[in-house]
Structure 1
Amino acid sequence: MKFSYKFSNLLGSVYRRGNVSFTPDGNSIISPVGNRVSIFDLKNNKSETLPVEAQMNIVCVAQSPDGSTAILVDEAGAALLVSLVSKSVLHHYHFHKPVHTVKFSPDGRKFAVTRENHTLVYHAPGKTHDFNPFRLYRSYHGPYDDATCIDWTDDSRAFAVGSKDMNTRVHAATALQNLAVYSFGGHKDAIVGCFFEHKSLDLYTISRDGTLVIWECDTDLDGLVPGSARPKKEKETEEKVKDDSEESEEEEDKDKQEKILYKKVSKHYFNKEGDFNTLTSCDYHKRTHFLVTGFASGIFHLHELPDFNLIHSLSISDQRIASVSFNSTGDWIALACSGLGQLLVWEWQSESYVLKQQGHFNNMSSLAYSPDGQYIVTGGEDGKVKVWNTGSGFCFVTFTEHTAAIAGTIFTSNGHVVISASLDGTARAFDLHRYRNFRTFTSPRPAQFSCLAVDHSGDLVCCGAQDMFEIFVWSMQTGRLLEVLAGHEGPVASLSFSPADAILASASWDKTVRVWDIFERKGCRETLQLGSDALAVTFRPDGKEVAIAMLSGEIQFWDPHNATQTGSIEGRHDLGAGRKETDKITAKTSAAGKSFSSLCYTADGTCILAGGRSKNICIYHVAEQLLIKKFEISCNLSFDAMEEYLDRRKMTEWGSLALVDEGQEEGEGGTAISLPGVRKGDMASRHWKPEVRVSCVQFSPTGRAFATTTTEGLMVYSLDNSLTFDPFDLDMDITPATIRRMLGRKEYATALMMSFRLNEGAVIQEVVETIPHTEVSHVSQTLPDTYVDRMLLFVASQLETSRHLEFYLTWCQTLLMLHGQRLKNRSMSVLAMLRALQKSVTRRYEDISKLCDSNRYSLQYILSVAQQDGSRKRKAGGEEEEEGEMEELGEEDSSVQMSEDDLPMKSHHI
C-alpha cells in the first residue's frame, strides 16, 4: 500500500483572522485560516487550501492585479510570496515588525506596506528582474501612531494612508511637482478606511466612531504634474537689490497656487440614533460607488456615495465583523467574523446568500467517513454536528440539538443516518434525507456518554458512560433500551464493533478491554488485562485482531477470540512533544506523559494510523511493528508547545520571560498581581495559546485519503496524484509510439495492458477512449486480474471528471459481470478500489438526478404557462366571434397577429 499522502484540504475552519479578498475575476474568495490560506471557488462550488504554511497566523493577504501571485504576512511580520498558479512559495521576506495592511497598486508595479507608523513602498515582484523580489522603493513617514489602511489612485501615482492618530495623508508615489504630501483631519477616532473616487483625487475617510468625511480635490488625475519639485531658492545675499527679492516672493506665491487643494464637502454619521457602535471594517467599490461597513455588533450597512443613501442594513451575527470586501463587479459582498469563524458572501441585489459557512466554535472532538467516502461528519465541543462534502469541502447541514460537547459520531452502514453521542446524556440519530433528528436515546439515569459504536447492520446503538462505568444498548428501530452492560470499574473510553462477528469491544480506564457477546446475551465473553489504562480500541477489517491504545504510549494487538496478545508497538518516542512557554520541565520529560488516543486500520488491515495529544500522526506496519511514516500536522508557532527547546531570546537571568511576567517583583514586597483583562497600565490580558493536538483519525473507505480532527480544523491528507510517471513492470520496448502502433493494428487488449505498464494517465485515457464500445466485452475477457484492478481504479477516477459517462459505465458493468466472482474471493485486497468506484458512481448519480429533476420541473412550468396562454387566447377569440362582423383587412391583420402570437407558444412546447 502506498503512503505518499500529502496535505490536500482543510475543512471545518473557513476563517480565523485577517482580511478576506476576492480574486480579480470575482469568482473566488481567499480567506486566511490560521497559518494557511483557503480559496473558495463560488462558481464551481469547491474549496481548496494551499499547501503553504506560514510560521504564525496570517493577518494580511494581498493579491496582484493579474491574480498570479499573492503576499501573505503573518502576525510577526514574516512575509511569503506565493504563486497562485503553481501553489508554491517563491520568496521569503521579513519586515521585522507587525504589519497592518498590504496593497498592490492598480498597475501592479508597486505595493505598499504599513508597518507601525511607516509606509514602505516596494517594487512588485515579477515586474523587474532582480535577485531580491522585494526591493524597497521608498519609505514614507508622518503619522504619529500606527498606520491602518491604504488606498491607491487609479493611475498608481499617489496613495492615501489612514492612521490611528485620526489623520489621513495623501502621498505621491512618484515625483510630482504639485503634490508631495497632504494631511487631513476632521475625525475624532482612528481611521478605519480611506478610499479614492474612481479616476479622481476625491477622497472618502471613515473613522472607528462611525464618521464619514467626503473630501473634494480641485485637481483631476490629469492635473498631477510629473517631475521633481522645484528646488528651493537660495538665500539672497545682501548685495542683491530689492526688486530681485520681490520677484522671488512672487514665484513662491505662484508655486503655492499650483499645489493641489482639498476641501471638506460633507460629513455623515452611521450612529444616528445615539447608540455608539464601533465601526470595525469597510470597503468601497469605485465603479458602482457603493460603500459597505461592518460593525462590532454584527451589523453591516450598504450605502451609495456621495449622497450617503442607505440601501441595506442587515445583522448577520452578534459578533464583530472583522473584514468586508467587494468582488470585481460589486454584486457580492464577503463578510467575515473571527469570533464565530464565519464567512458569508451576500448578493445584495437578490438579497440572498451565495456562501454561508461556519466552522466549529470550539475544537473538534470526533469524525467519521460515510461508507462511500463522499461525506465526513464531525462533532465539536460546541455541541454541533456538521456534515461535510469531501469533494467540495463545504458543510451542507448542521445539527444543533445537543447541548453539550460531542463525544462520538458515526455513519450507519447505508450512509443515510448519522448518530452522535454527547456529554449531555443523549445519543441522537439524524436523517440525511430530511435533515431532522428522528431518534433520541437516553439512559434510565442521567449519564455522560464518552464513546459510541453501531453494529454493521445498523440495528444496535451502543454508548459508554464515563461517570457510571456502564454500556447502554438501544434498538435503532424502536429507540428502546435493550440492555445495560456492567462490569467495568472505570470510565468507558472507547467502543468498537467487529465487522465480521457479532461482538463488541470496550476499553476502559480500569486497565481492561472487555469483549461482549450482545446478540446471544451471554455477557462478557473475554476480559483482556492490560498494564495501563486503555484509551482507544478498534477492530481490524476482518475482525480477527483488535488494536488497543494505552496511556503508557503503547499500542497492543490482541486476538479477541483466544484472548492472546499478538504484538505491541512502543509509540511514545514517535509521538514527540514540545515545551510550553510556562513549562519548568524539558520537552523530553513532557513526552513521557503523551499517548495515542485514536486508532484506525487501513482498508487491507496491514497498517494502523494513530494520533494523540501531539502534533504528529504515525502510520505503523502491524506485522513488522515498524514506523512507516510520520506526519507533522502543523508548524504554526502561534500555538503553544511547538518548540522543543527554549528560545534564548525569551530567557532572562531569572528564567523564562513567561514565568518572570507571572511573578514580577515590585520593590521589596511581594508580587504585582495584574487585573484580568486590563491591557493598559499593568499590560495584563486574558490571552492564552492553544495547544496542537489530534483528537481523532480516520481512514477513508476508498483508501485514497485519511482525515484527522485537530486544533487547526479538519485536515484531509490524500495520495499525491501529480506524478504522471509511475511505471509498473516496464520494459524497454514499451513506449507511447509502440502503444499507438498496437492501436493502429486494432490489438486493443495488448495496447491497454502496455499502457498500464507504462502507467501514464494521458496514454491510458487515449487507449481506453480509442477502443470501440462494441469491443469492450472482448477486451475485458482477456484482461488478467492485475489489470482488472487497475482498469476499475482508472474507471473510478474517470467517472468523476469525464463527460463520456455511458462509455465508462459500460466498462464498469462489463468488468464486474465478467470478473465479479474473482473479485469477491479477493474482497479484502480490492475493498478500497470498490469503495472508490462506488463513491464515483454515487456522486455522478446524485448530480444527474438533481439535473434531471430541475429540467423536469422547468419543462412542467413551461408547458403549464404555454397551456394557460393558449386557453386565454382561445377564450379571447371566441368573444371576438360573438361580437359579430369584422372587416376583411381587420381579419387579415388579426390572422397575421394570431400566427405571430402562436410562435412563442410553439417554441415553449418544443
Structure 2
Amino acid sequence: MQDPTLDRSFRGHKDVITDLAFKPSMTQIASGSMDNSVMVWHFKPQMRAFRFVGHKVTSKKHGPVTSVDFSPSGNLLASASRDKTVRLWTPNVKGDVTVFKAHTSTVRTVRFSQDGESFLTCSDDKSIKIWSTQRAKFQYTLAGHLNWVRSARFSPDFKMVVSGGDDKSVKLWDLTSKNCVKTYFDHTGMVTSTAFHPAGTIVATASTDRSIKLFDIRTHKLIQHYHDAHVGAGPASDTKGGESAWAGGGPNSVNFGGPGGNWLISTGMDGVVKIWDLKEGHLFYTLHGHKNGPTTAAAFSPEGAFFATGGSDAQLMVWKSNFDAGVPLTADDTGGKYHFLVPINLLKMIISSIQDKSRPRHASSPHRANNAILLLCGTSSNNHCQSNS
C-alpha cells in the first residue's frame, strides 16, 4: 500500500480552520474558520473560491465559524457559529442564505442526516436540536448533557444520534422515543468529537484525556482504545480572544473513512494528523504537513479516495489516501475473528476465483448492508471466511 500523498493545498483563511466538508459530487470542499468566514474551494483548476461572510461579530468572541456541512444533494451548505446562529447557504450563489437563531449560546456542530431531510445542531446551552431542512423549522430538543455539547452526529439510518461534551459523557439518543438510551462514562476528560461508522454499529469518541475509543453500540462494549492518541501541550489559542478554541490537550476530531470506513482519521494538539488502521487496531500513518500549532479538522471524501486536513496555520490540505478496500467492523470477543464489510462486486470476484476450491465451512445466508455483504473471517490459524446473517 502506498503512503498518503499531498494532492493540493488551499490558502485564503486568516485564522484557524475549525471544520471541513467535501461536497458529495467531489467538485468542491468547504471550510469554516475562526476568521468568521466560510470558504468554498473548487477542485477544478483556475476557478476562484467563494468566501461567505455573515456570521455576526458582536464582540471579540462572537462570529467565528465552528462547523460546516454539505447536504447530501450538495445544494445546501450549513454553517454554525458562536453568534448562536446557523446559516444555510447556496454554495454556488454568493449571498443567498437563510439565517436563524438556533441556540441560546455558541453552536458547536451542524450536521445533515443522510437523506437530507433533517439536520442537527448542538450547543454550549447543553442541548441538541433536530431541525427540518426544507423550512429550517425546529422539530425537537434532546436534553440530558450537564455541560457544553461539543459534538453530535446522526447514525447512517437516521435512527440514533451520538453526542459528547464537557460533562465527559458520550450519549446515544433514540430518535423515535427522543430519549437517551445509553450513556458512556469511559472518558476522564471532556469529549471533543464523536463519529458514527458508515455501518451504523460503531461510534468513535475523542477526549481531552488524550484517548480515542471505539464502542459497539449493539453490545455497548469498548472494542478499541488508543491511549495517548494525541499528546498536546495545552489548549489552542483563540486569536479572537476570551475563550479557548478547543478544550485542551489531546485529539480535536475523529472521522471514519476510506473504503467502507476501514480507517479513522484524527487531529490533535500535537500538530499532526493521524490515520488509524481499524483492521489491525494500530496507528498506520502520521502526517506532519501543518505547521506552528494544532491540527483541528479532517474529513474524508465520500468514496475515501481523498481526505482533507486543516489546522491553526489556516491552511487547507487535500491528500490522496491510496487506501485498499476491505472493512473490519468489530473484533469477535471469543473467537479472535473480525467482521468485514465487503462490496458485493468485490465479493463476486472472490467467489469466482475460488469456485474450483472447496467451499468455506459454516456458510449461512449473507447479511446485506449498503450493497455489501458481511463476512466473518478467522485468524491466520483458522483462516476460513463465512457469511454472517
Shorter chain as normaliser: what TM range? 0.7 to 0.9
CA gap 1:599/1:438 in 2 versus in 1, 3 angstroms: same
Amino acid at match of 2:4: Y
Give CA-to-partner distance per residue, 1:372-424, whole Å, 9 cap, x none. Answer: 32210011112111111124275432211212000100011111110111110
Give CA-to-partner distance per residue, 1:429-478, whole Å, 9 cap, x none. Answer: 112354444432323x6321111222111122211111x21112221122
Q: Residues 389 and 395 of structure 1 are in contact (CA less than 8 Å); yes or no, is this contact kept in structure 2? A: yes
- Give 1:868-887 correspondences, 5 Å limit: none
- Give 1:13-28 correspondences, 5 Å limit: 13=11
Aligned residue number for residue 18 of structure 2: 365
Amino acid at match of 1:458: G
Q: Residues 21 and 70 of structure 2 are in contact (CA less than 8 Å); yes or no, is this contact kept in structure 1? A: yes
Partner of residue 785 from structure 1, selected from 328, 349, 358: 349
Give CA-to-partner distance per residue, 1:133-156, whole Å, 9 cap, x none. Answer: xxxxxxxxxxxxxxxxxxxxxxxx
Tell me how far apart the structure 2 counterparts of residues 522 and 383 of structure 1 sit (CA, whole Å): 33
Query: Which structure has more helix as a fraction of its residues?
Result: 1
Q: Say which SS state the counterpart of residue 270 (structure 2) adopts.
A: coil
Tell me how far apart the structure 1 counterparts of residues 280 and 211 of structure 2 sit (CA, whole Å): 15
- Report whether the alignment pairs 1:392 with 2:56: no
Q: Say which SS state the counterpart of residue 51 (structure 2) adopts.
A: strand
Q: Which runs of 5+ in 1 are unaligned?
A: 14-358, 580-592, 640-691, 722-783, 789-821, 830-910
- Cα deviation, residue 525, structure 1: 1.9
Q: Say which SS state the counterpart of residue 785 (structure 1) adopts.
A: helix
Tell me how far apart the structure 1 counterparts of residues 164 and 100 of structure 2 sit (CA, whole Å): 22
Partner of residue 112 from structure 2, selected from 433, 454, 474: 454
- Cα deviation, residue 711, structure 1: 2.7
Aligned residue number for residue 688 of structure 1: none
- Report whether the alignment pairs 1:607 with 2:208: no
- Cα deviation, residue 364, structure 1: 1.4
Q: Say which SS state the counterpart of residue 378 (structure 1) adopts.
A: strand
- Give 1:432-451 correspondences, 5 Å limit: 432-443=91-102, 446-451=104-109
Aligned residue number for residue 135 of structure 2: 478
Partner of residue 598 from structure 1, selected from 228, 253, 257: 253
Aligned residue number for residue 616 of structure 1: 272
Tell me how far apart the structure 2 counterparts of residues 566 and 719 of structure 1 sit (CA, whole Å): 25
Amino acid at match of 1:607: W
- Give 1:317-396 correspondences, 5 Å limit: 359-392=12-45, 394-396=47-49
Tell me how far apart the structure 2 counterparts of residues 402 and 609 of structure 1 sit (CA, whole Å): 29
Aligned residue number for residue 74 of structure 2: 415
Q: Residues 464 and 472 of structure 1 are in contact (CA less than 8 Å); yes or no, is this contact kept in structure 2? A: yes
Tell me how far apart the structure 2 counterparts of residues 3 and 485 of structure 1 sit (CA, whole Å): 43
Tell me how far apart the structure 1 counterparts of residues 225 and 167 of structure 2 sit (CA, whole Å): 19
Aligned residue number for residue 362 of structure 2: none
Amino acid at match of 2:19: S
Q: Residues 142 and 178 of structure 2 are in contact (CA less than 8 Å); yes or no, is this contact kept in structure 1? A: no
- Give 1:322-721 correspondences, 5 Å limit: 359-392=12-45, 394-403=47-56, 404-443=63-102, 446-466=104-124, 468-518=125-175, 520-532=176-188, 533-572=190-229, 575=230, 594-603=249-258, 604-634=260-290, 639=292, 692-712=293-313, 713-719=315-321
Q: Say which SS state the counterpart of residue 49 (structure 2) adopts.
A: strand
Give CA-to-partner distance per residue, 1:565-622, whole Å, 9 cap, x none. Answer: 22211134xx35589xxxxxxxxxxxxx731111111232222111111222111122
Q: Say which SS state the counterpart of residue 542 (structure 1) adopts.
A: coil
CA gap 1:598/1:438 in 2 versus in 1, 3 angstroms: same
Amino acid at match of 1:538: A
Q: Residues 389 and 396 of structure 1 are in contact (CA less than 8 Å); yes or no, is this contact kept in structure 2? A: yes
Q: Residues 233 and 249 of structure 2 are in contact (CA less than 8 Å); yes or no, is this contact kept in structure 1? A: no
Q: Which runs of 5+ in 2 are unaligned?
A: 57-62, 235-247, 324-347, 353-367, 376-389
Instruction: Give the structure-1-normalised TM-score.
Output: 0.33
- Cα deviation, residue 823, structure 1: 12
- Cα deviation, residue 715, structure 1: 1.0
Tell me how far apart the structure 2 counterparts of residues 707 and 8 of structure 1 sit (CA, whole Å): 10
Q: Residues 307 and 321 of structure 2 are in contact (CA less than 8 Å); yes or no, is this contact kept in structure 1? A: no
- Cα deviation, residue 368, structure 1: 0.5
Give CA-to-partner distance per residue, 1:79-128, whole Å, 9 cap, x none. Answer: xxxxxxxxxxxxxxxxxxxxxxxxxxxxxxxxxxxxxxxxxxxxxxxxxx
Q: Residues 538 and 599 of structure 1 are in contact (CA less than 8 Å); yes or no, is this contact kept in structure 2? A: yes
Aligned residue number for residue 361 of structure 2: none
Amino acid at match of 1:421: A
Tell me how far apart the structure 1 counterparts of residues 86 and 204 of structure 2 sit (CA, whole Å): 25
Tell me how far apart the structure 2 counterparts of residues 363 and 418 of structure 1 sit (CA, whole Å): 20
- Give 1:266-305 correspondences, 5 Å limit: none
Q: Say which SS state the counterpart of residue 150 (structure 2) adopts.
A: strand
CA gap 1:828/1:632 in 2 versus in 1, 3 angstroms: farther
Q: Residues 386 and 395 of structure 1 are in contact (CA less than 8 Å); yes or no, is this contact kept in structure 2? A: no
Q: Residues 612 and 694 of structure 1 are in contact (CA less than 8 Å); yes or no, is this contact kept in structure 2? A: yes
Q: Residues 387 and 396 of structure 1 are in contact (CA less than 8 Å); yes or no, is this contact kept in structure 2? A: yes
Amino acid at match of 2:250: S
Tell me how far apart the structure 1 counterparts of residues 228 and 55 of structure 2 sit (CA, whole Å): 35
CA gap 1:578/1:478 in 2 versus in 1, 3 angstroms: closer
CA gap 1:530/1:463 in 2 versus in 1, 3 angstroms: same
Give CA-to-partner distance per residue, 1:760-792, whole Å, 9 cap, x none. Answer: xxxxxxxxxxxxxxxxxxxxxxxx737x9xxxx
Q: Say which SS state the counterpart of residue 99 (structure 2) adopts.
A: strand
- Cα deviation, residue 481, structure 1: 1.5
Aligned residue number for residue 119 of structure 1: none
Amino acid at match of 1:606: N
Amino acid at match of 1:385: V
Tell me how far apart the structure 2 counterparts of residues 497 and 626 of structure 1 sit (CA, whole Å): 26
CA gap 1:564/1:516 in 2 versus in 1, 3 angstroms: same
CA gap 1:696/1:393 in 2 versus in 1, 3 angstroms: farther
Tell me how far apart the structure 2 counterparts of residues 578 and 446 of structure 1 sit (CA, whole Å): 32
Bigger Cα Rg: 1
Tell me how far apart the structure 1 counterparts of residues 266 and 228 of structure 2 sit (CA, whole Å): 9
Give CA-to-partner distance per residue, 1:831-858, whole Å, 9 cap, x none. Answer: xxxxxxxxxxxxxxxxxxxxxxxxxxxx
- Cα deviation, residue 695, structure 1: 0.9
Tell me how far apart the structure 1 counterparts of residues 233 and 126 of structure 2 sit (CA, whole Å): 33
Give CA-to-partner distance per residue, 1:502-549, whole Å, 9 cap, x none. Answer: 21111111111111122x243212212223221110010111100001
Amino acid at match of 1:453: R
CA gap 1:699/1:524 in 2 versus in 1, 3 angstroms: same
Amino acid at match of 2:264: I
CA gap 1:527/1:696 in 2 versus in 1, 3 angstroms: same
- The structure whose RCO (Cα within 8 Å, separation 6+) is larger is 2
Amino acid at match of 2:77: V
Q: Say which SS state the counterpart of residue 530 (structure 1) adopts.
A: coil
- Cα deviation, residue 361, structure 1: 2.3
Query: Which structure has more strand as a fraction of its residues?
Result: 2
